[in-house]
Structure 1
Amino acid sequence: MQSAKEVMSVALMGMYNAASAMDDARINKGAATAKDGEQSGQSHDFVNSEAASAELQSPPNAAACPEVSGLLSLPWEMVTHIASHLPAHCVISVLPKVCDALSNVGKDKTTWQLRARRLIGTEASFPLRPREDLDWPFACLEMETLITRWTKVAQVVTKEPRADADLQNGQPDGAALMELERMAAYDDDEGAFLEEMGAQLPPVAHEAQLREVPEGRLDDNPQPMIEEDGARFLFDHPDHGQDLLQPGFRGNAGLVEKERQPPRSASPPPALECVTLLSGHIAQVDSVLLIGGQGSVCATGSRDRDVKLWNLQADSSHMLMHTLRGQGHFNTHQGWVWSLASQGPLLASGGFDSTVKLWDLRAGGAERGVIRTQAAVTCLSYLPDVLLAGTLNEKIQMYDPRAGVPLVRTLRHHSYAVFCLAADDKYIISASRDRSLVVHDRRADKSVYKVRLRSYLYSMSYSDGEIWGGDIGGMLHCFSMQQGVWKHLAHFDVGHTAKVTGIHKSPGSLYTCSSDFTVKVHIPCGPPKTICTLRHQEGVCGLSVEAGVLAVASRDMCVDIWRPKKNDL
């Protein structure tokens, strides 16, 4: 432990000597920014204002660290500022082992606010709303990891010119025009198919309108229409098969030999690698879901009517584990597979055959039940006590998969197809092609917020009391509860030129994908800071993120897996 103390003392003092010349300038600039923000009414920039206004104070328990007493004799604000230049994992894991006083550095919120300001810049705000429950160490650690890994990717990815960057005198060149036509054809084909399936489609706002302020309030408390239907739940006999969540299982082919870890090279390798799942589906993959908790298993749903499971810890030629099929069936579903959701070992798949099927991954992918809906299933959300399904016939159906007659009730908050669905133990959030977003309070059993946008949401992510959605015009929207009331916080243009088909938001990361052939990685500040843009040859249909692993599904029947290299774990 003595060597650790000496190392950290030298490291901190070295950073102090290097940073002392700019400490006063940065702090004074931050204080001036906070003062200007207060005068202009911009009190929402919590990183800039709180970090810059931290009071000078003596470090706690300085006597407990005699080896670094010289450093700790500085004003505590200077210590936290110096510590903000250490890697986040060092502040979290190493400093507490040095002494009691330095262990308090990681507990000081100012340390993390300074770090966040350094990462996102002084012009952006983080978080977007006041949050006393924000886990600052986790958020900053996630941001640093995101920047380190995806900046390296951005340096090696060859980016093709954007269609809108090829405009000359206001007109696209030939290649850009072909690309725009492909995107338009993709959206038109999908709309035509939905109409064939019986979905009544409302008029879509003109492109110019998509950039206007997108909020117009409707009735705040419309009473939901509750329906009790007689759909029945069909059980199959249990099949005590292999555990598909175990990385070594490869379906009927048996066990997969784990890929050997390559030796470390003299220079550090890129932080991420991309693996493409090939030879699986024979049609467009519309849904992708990482499961298992560590991003080790991937489920994919396709227009070829199948759901496939992939072992991401196997070598690239042996990743396909299993194709889910019920007894006596050739395919997983009898229609397109449009949505996936999981809860524990159970995987739910929703199809255009108007069914939701449950699969037990602990029992070799055995079919545990079939829920027959009244229309094509477009989105799913799976909680421990309820399975929610959004359908083309405007409904949100609530099921208890454990019951013989699983349908609990049907909510009807929308007038057109429901495309987005998310929930927790308090709220059910849904978005529809009727351009409305509705928040339903589960305890009060009524909607508590309803807003109509100028462009409907096509994808949504909900966590920690924040809703992030992407619309068909390429814009991002953020909603949050403030003082007991849901509000539309902001909308952002992050560079997507077509509908946002997938979005994932966590405390320190934001991923988006679009039918404009791109995937973007951002820091979730206001406005989002884009770190990397990945370009595909076809439109991107969806994404899933888990434990630092990113899965991307596209129209070319392939799924790309971006994951940390094994010798980088």
Structure 2
Amino acid sequence: MASELDDSRCDQPRTEGDLDEDQENELEIQAQEYVDRVRNPELCGPRPQSCPLEVSGEQQPRSNRTSASDLSVRLRSSQVLPADNVQSSLLSLPWELVLEICSYLDARFVLGVLPLVCRAFQCVLTDEVTWRIRAQKTLGLSYPVLEGKDFDWPTACIELEEHLSHWSGSNPKVEHFSLNDGHFASVDSVLLIQNASLCISGSRDRNVNIWDLRRLAQDGEKVLVKTLGHQPRGTHRGWVWALAAQANMLCSGSWDSSVKLWDMASEGAAVREIRGKAAVLCLVYLPDILVTGSYDKLVTMYDPRVNYPVLTSRKLHSSAVLCLAADDRFVLSGSEDRTLVVVDRRTNHVLQRLQLDSYLLSMSYERGELWAGDKWGLVHVFEQQKGNFQHVKCFNVGHRSQLTGIRHSVGTLYTSSTDKTIKVHVPTEPPHTVCTLPHNDVVNGISVEHDVLAAASGSMTVEIWRMTN
């Protein structure tokens, strides 16, 4: 793999003055050509016949459903339940009826309070079979798509029910706000931080803005806090294309080939700048490393805590790197060359190079499960087992062009697209769309944290949906 090593030093210092106006204009032309090629809805091309069809109508439930009688037999065999002749009151009821009664109570309450009532409740309501039954009753669909050995059924059920409560029905429990007084060009990146109290946005106006979402709907309060940096021409000298955060540190990546770090504990004070040789298109920020994917096909790992931050820089692809994901073991990169590359962080060795039918633009990776969106608006699911990633599912969730954002958790799935929509799903097989949020322009990305959904809009706005009780 020696040919993949890049011998350039990406951390050489360079000042803002190194870019003159002509160079800035050239970067903007390059950026626009990239957007026209990679994110143009009219150029996504026809899907091949092998692509799945969009699901419509009622979906059939799985046939191997777990029943409450199974739970009762299991618990009796473990001598958890008292004998029939000593049962009384609520415990004397069939467990099918007990679980039916509990289904009318909030899942978080059922898990947090009722196990304290008695030993039998504690055993029943902390057993994963109980929550399997509840999830199947709630969804009536095949769930989950992937069930690893550590799948957390109680957490999944709580997420599912709260998710459906917020977004289902004719009157969703959601407030919508459009932040339109901060940018004067398309917003291409958005990030929620600090428990969704702050929203960060990056734009083609070259600025990074901070918004205080606690001020939403408060009379006389200005939601826009500040624009980062003190340069007269903007936070960066090129379009701001990527954002990432770790603890109190925020980083922004730009078409000016730089990554800038900001201390959010010090009101967004500039910490340092790391210079590269090409546009930074995607970022991942973990406690010990910062990973960038760039227009010149490089995946670079930095340790931003030291003076010479480059750990390794490798040309893993034959085209621009469009999206990244990482954890303490792997770095995954998707490229315009239609490949997904998996690198072992410990050995810096390429473990896999998967050839795909289309390029990926967005990723959501957690606990060995990768959900990714491609240029056709399809959702792909990859499973990691013993260090090997395998493409296991492909879903058509109803988008008509490039899928620019995806966020998956055990109980939720959000997607955004250049088709001017955001879709809210439950992650069943196939995903069931709960609602569609139409927009008046392309949606360039999303961020979800706690009870807030933020979207970057081509109409120069940041769109916020805040879920209410």
Distance in 1 between residues matched to 2:135 and 2:261, nearest whole Å: 42
Unaligned runs of 5+ in 2: 1-59
1:36-85 superposed Cα distances (whole Å, 9 cap, x missing partner): xxxxxxxxxxxx36888656245665569x99734323555664465345
Q: Look up the match of 2:378.
A: 475
Given the alignment of the two structures, is residue 425 of structure 1 paired with residue 328 of structure 2, yes or no? yes
Structure 1 residue 132, shift from structure 2 partner:
1.7
Structure 1 residue 440, shift from structure 2 partner:
1.1
Q: Look up the match of 2:192.
A: 290
SS at match of 1:502: strand
- Judged with a 3 Å threshold, the aligned counterparts in structure 2 of structure 1 residues 54 and 439 are, in CA distance, closer, same or farther, namely farther
Structure 1 residue 377, shift from structure 2 partner:
0.3
Structure 1 residue 490, shift from structure 2 partner:
0.2
8 Å CA contact 2:378–2:403 kept in 1: the answer is yes
Given the alignment of the two structures, is residue 131 of structure 1 paired with residue 148 of structure 2, yes or no? yes
Of 304, 320, 324, the residue aligned with 2:224 is 320
Question: Mapping of 1:131-170 within 5 angstroms?
Answer: 131-152=148-169, 155-156=170-171
| Amino acid in the other structure paired with 1:271 | K
SS at match of 2:215: coil
Question: Mapping of 1:81-160 within 5 angstroms?
Answer: 83-122=102-141, 124=142, 126-152=143-169, 155-156=170-171
Of 261, 276, 280, the residue aligned with 2:178 is 276
Which structure's CA Rg is the greater one?
1
8 Å CA contact 1:460–1:469 kept in 2: the answer is yes
Q: Look up the match of 2:270.
A: 367
Distance in 2 between residues matched to 1:74 and 1:485, nearest whole Å: 48
Of 268, 272, 280, the residue aligned with 1:377 is 280
1:15-36 superposed Cα distances (whole Å, 9 cap, x missing partner): xxxxxxxxxxxxxx99x922xx
Structure 1 residue 564, shift from structure 2 partner:
2.5
Question: Mapping of 1:193-272 within 5 angstroms?
Answer: 271-272=173-174
| Amino acid in the other structure paired with 2:227 | T
Distance in 1 between residues matched to 2:345 and 2:368, nearest whole Å: 15
Distance in 1 between residues matched to 2:69 and 2:398, nearest whole Å: 31
Question: Mapping of 1:169-568 within 5 angstroms?
Answer: 271-292=173-194, 294-316=195-217, 317-326=221-230, 328-565=231-468, 568=469
- Judged with a 3 Å threshold, the aligned counterparts in structure 2 of structure 1 residues 89 and 49 are, in CA distance, closer, same or farther, namely closer
- Cα RMSD, aligned residues only: 2.5
8 Å CA contact 1:394–1:412 kept in 2: the answer is yes
- Judged with a 3 Å threshold, the aligned counterparts in structure 2 of structure 1 residues 58 and 71 are, in CA distance, closer, same or farther, namely farther
Distance in 2 between residues matched to 1:67 and 1:535, nearest whole Å: 58
Of 40, 48, 63, the residue aligned with 1:33 is 63
Structure 1 residue 499, shift from structure 2 partner:
0.4
8 Å CA contact 1:459–1:503 kept in 2: the answer is yes
1:441-493 superposed Cα distances (whole Å, 9 cap, x missing partner): 11232122221111110111111111100001010000011355321110000
Structure 1 residue 87, shift from structure 2 partner:
2.6
- Judged with a 3 Å threshold, the aligned counterparts in structure 2 of structure 1 residues 58 and 461 are, in CA distance, closer, same or farther, namely closer
| Amino acid in the other structure paired with 1:128 | V
| Amino acid in the other structure paired with 2:312 | R
- Judged with a 3 Å threshold, the aligned counterparts in structure 2 of structure 1 residues 303 and 100 are, in CA distance, closer, same or farther, namely same
Distance in 1 between residues matched to 2:428 and 2:264, nearest whole Å: 37
SS at match of 1:495: coil
Structure 1 residue 553, shift from structure 2 partner:
1.3
| Amino acid in the other structure paired with 1:144 | E
- Judged with a 3 Å threshold, the aligned counterparts in structure 2 of structure 1 residues 303 and 91 are, in CA distance, closer, same or farther, namely same
8 Å CA contact 2:281–2:294 kept in 1: the answer is yes
1:362-387 superposed Cα distances (whole Å, 9 cap, x missing partner): 11211100000110000000011111
8 Å CA contact 2:200–2:210 kept in 1: the answer is yes
Distance in 2 between residues matched to 1:493 and 1:331, nearest whole Å: 39
| Amino acid in the other structure paired with 2:182 | G
Structure 1 residue 96, shift from structure 2 partner:
1.9
Greater fraction strand = 2
Number of aligned residues: 405
SS at match of 2:126: coil
**Identical residues among aligned pairs (%):** 46
Q: Look up the match of 1:38.
A: none
- Judged with a 3 Å threshold, the aligned counterparts in structure 2 of structure 1 residues 58 and 440 are, in CA distance, closer, same or farther, namely closer
- Judged with a 3 Å threshold, the aligned counterparts in structure 2 of structure 1 residues 408 and 533 are, in CA distance, closer, same or farther, namely same
8 Å CA contact 1:551–1:562 kept in 2: the answer is yes
- Judged with a 3 Å threshold, the aligned counterparts in structure 2 of structure 1 residues 67 and 536 are, in CA distance, closer, same or farther, namely farther
8 Å CA contact 2:69–2:95 kept in 1: the answer is no
Could you state the TM-score of these two structures normalised by the residue count of structure 1? 0.67
Distance in 1 between residues matched to 2:328 and 2:346, nearest whole Å: 9
- Judged with a 3 Å threshold, the aligned counterparts in structure 2 of structure 1 residues 404 and 57 are, in CA distance, closer, same or farther, namely closer
SS at match of 1:486: strand
| Amino acid in the other structure paired with 1:348 | C
Unaligned runs of 5+ in 1: 1-28, 35-47, 157-269
Greater fraction helix = 1
8 Å CA contact 1:56–1:75 kept in 2: the answer is no
Distance in 1 between residues matched to 2:199 and 2:433, nearest whole Å: 26
| Amino acid in the other structure paired with 1:296 | S
Distance in 2 between residues matched to 1:484 and 1:362, nearest whole Å: 37
8 Å CA contact 1:346–1:359 kept in 2: the answer is yes
Q: Look up the match of 1:172.
A: none
| Amino acid in the other structure paired with 2:389 | W
Q: Look up the match of 1:210.
A: none
Structure 1 residue 506, shift from structure 2 partner:
0.9
8 Å CA contact 2:321–2:336 kept in 1: the answer is yes
8 Å CA contact 1:284–1:304 kept in 2: the answer is yes
Structure with larger RCO (C-alpha < 8 A, sep 6+) = 2
Distance in 2 between residues matched to 1:466 and 1:51, nearest whole Å: 29
- Judged with a 3 Å threshold, the aligned counterparts in structure 2 of structure 1 residues 130 and 151 are, in CA distance, closer, same or farther, namely closer
| Amino acid in the other structure paired with 1:391 | S
SS at match of 1:313: helix
- Judged with a 3 Å threshold, the aligned counterparts in structure 2 of structure 1 residues 382 and 484 are, in CA distance, closer, same or farther, namely closer
SS at match of 2:205: coil
8 Å CA contact 2:192–2:198 kept in 1: the answer is yes
